Amino acid sequence: MEIPRVEELLRSLMQGLPPGLASGASGLREDLENNFRAVLRANLGKLDLAGRDEFDAQRKVLERTRARLEALEQRVAELEAAAARPIDR
């Protein structure tokens, strides 16, 4: 996961701490920040997450695939309807 995102999560965690704990002794605050940061980086790095660019690319592929599937379903329906009509001789 990218560093700015980790820092954003870290800020959110720090804001969620009780006011006395987060703003108290600076040593405790620094320890908490360092520990939170280490845990976030270690565990978020293990996740197999797609980046925004990869996600957007896959979304476009899926949209094209859906459009192609719908066109093929329509074609099959037309062929089935044509096959069901009696042949005039």
pTM over 0.75: no
Predicted pLDDT at 22? 56
The SS3 of residue 86 is coil
Question: In a 3-state reduction of DSSP, which class is residue 74?
Answer: helix
pLDDT attached to residue 67: 98
**Phi-psi domain of 2 (left: phi exceeds 0; alpha: psi -120 through 50; beta: other):** beta
Domain range annotation of the chain: 1-49, 50-89
